[in-house]
Amino acid sequence: MAAASIELNNKLTCPQLGLGTWQSAPGDIYNAVKHAISIGYRHIDCAWIYGNEKEVGRAIKEKIEDKTVTREELFIVTKLWNLFHSRNQVVPACKESLSNLGLDYIDLYLVHWPVAQTISEIKTIDLSLIKDANFVDVDYVETWEGMEDCVRLGLAKSIGLSNFNTKQVRRVLDHAKIKPVMNQIEVSPNLTQKKLIKFCKDNDIAVTAYSPLGSPARPWAKPGDGVVSLDNPQIVSIGEKYGKTSAQVILRFLVQIGTIPIPKSSNKERVEKNIDIFDFELTPEEVKVLESFNCDGRAVPADDFKASKYFPFNED
């Protein structure tokens, strides 16, 4: 199985489906990444804050060593955390992720949030880092200069954004010497993000769809809150027509609206199913059915960041 690819504004190609790695239990992610690469995944989405870059890196190294794949065939993404937003912190943070992953370059390095934070000490990488950190006024335009340094030094082939709203993307574009190639945002049938996707496309910025299945395992999830129902009878019935599961219908929908979904799974069968979406096509009417579930509901509302002046979700 292989995903289709899309060309980024710097001419690199990005596989149009990737493996998410947030919230995989230790041990699980190593197995999931190895299995994913074995069956054809070439795009892996990581982040420093997920605390598992080392495990992901070990799996990648082994799949390169056993000749399943070459480094050049892989598209590895990771993200700069909020604690490292000053320009002089960005290159060291990128180098730390590279060292964790055991790589000498990242295909795409993203600013994880426009929000900057500081903390007196980093003990473990977990949610306490978010709760215990304070906000600082580091403008993400300064952070972007540090991201550009990573490209100049050959540490990252491409750079991009995550969780930036329209105005924030515009400000980066106005100042950038190297344009962002990507904005990674939440997109699912519950949150179709039509305006922001159009804005990004109009500015030659690709869109990655995170939490494509509504992130049912997120720690703050409440029953029925923001989770796209895989039992929805309309989605189930569309799936029956093509011999696909509801999750596959949703992922196919996200591909057809031009985004790059990155579902997380550490279950072998679901890892396989999630990439098996490139052999059928939803009709325009079926796409409309999926779009009709939009309620602008977020799986990742990021309430912890609301007090920051750079909080992105107060406007489009």
Ligand X SMILES: O=C1CO[C@H](CO)[C@@H](O)[C@@H]1O
Of 211, 232, 259, 308, the one binding ligand NDP (CB under 6 A) is 211
Q: Answer yes or no: 310 catalytic.
A: no
**DSSP per-residue string spanning the chain:** ----EEE-TTS-EEES--EE-TTPPTTHHHHHHHHHHHTT--EEE--GGGT-HHHHHHHHHHHHHTTS--GGG-EEEEEE-GGG-SHHHHHHHHHHHHHHHT-S-EEEEEE--S--EE-S---SSSHHHHHH-EE----HHHHHHHHHHHHHTTSEEEEEEES--HHHHHHHHHH-SS---EEEEE-BTTB--HHHHHHHHHTT-EEEEESTT--TT-TT--TTSSPPPTT-HHHHHHHHHHT--HHHHHHHHHHHTT-EE--B--SHHHHHHHH--SS----HHHHHHHHTT-----S---GGGTTSTT-GGG--
Looking at residues 110 to 129 of the shown chain, list those that interact with ligand X (rule: CB under 6 A).
127
158 vs 184 by CB, closer to ligand X:
184
What is the smallest separation between the CB atom of 46 and ligand X, expressed in angstroms? 10
Question: Which residues in 265-294 contact ligand NDP (CB under 6 A)?
Answer: 265-267, 270, 273-274
The residue whose Cβ lies closest to ligand NDP is 20
In the list 3, 14, 17, 22, the residue contacting ligand X (rule: CB under 6 A) is: 22
Q: Is 85 annotated as a binding residue?
A: no
* Smallest gap from residue 48 Cβ to ligand X (A): 10
Single out the catalytic residue among 30, 50, 140, 310.
Answer: 50
The residue ranges that bind ligand NDP (CB under 6 A) are 20-23, 45, 112, 162-163, 184, 210-218, 230, 245, 247, 262-267, 270, 273-274, 300
The residue ranges that bind ligand X (CB under 6 A) are 22, 47, 49, 127, 300
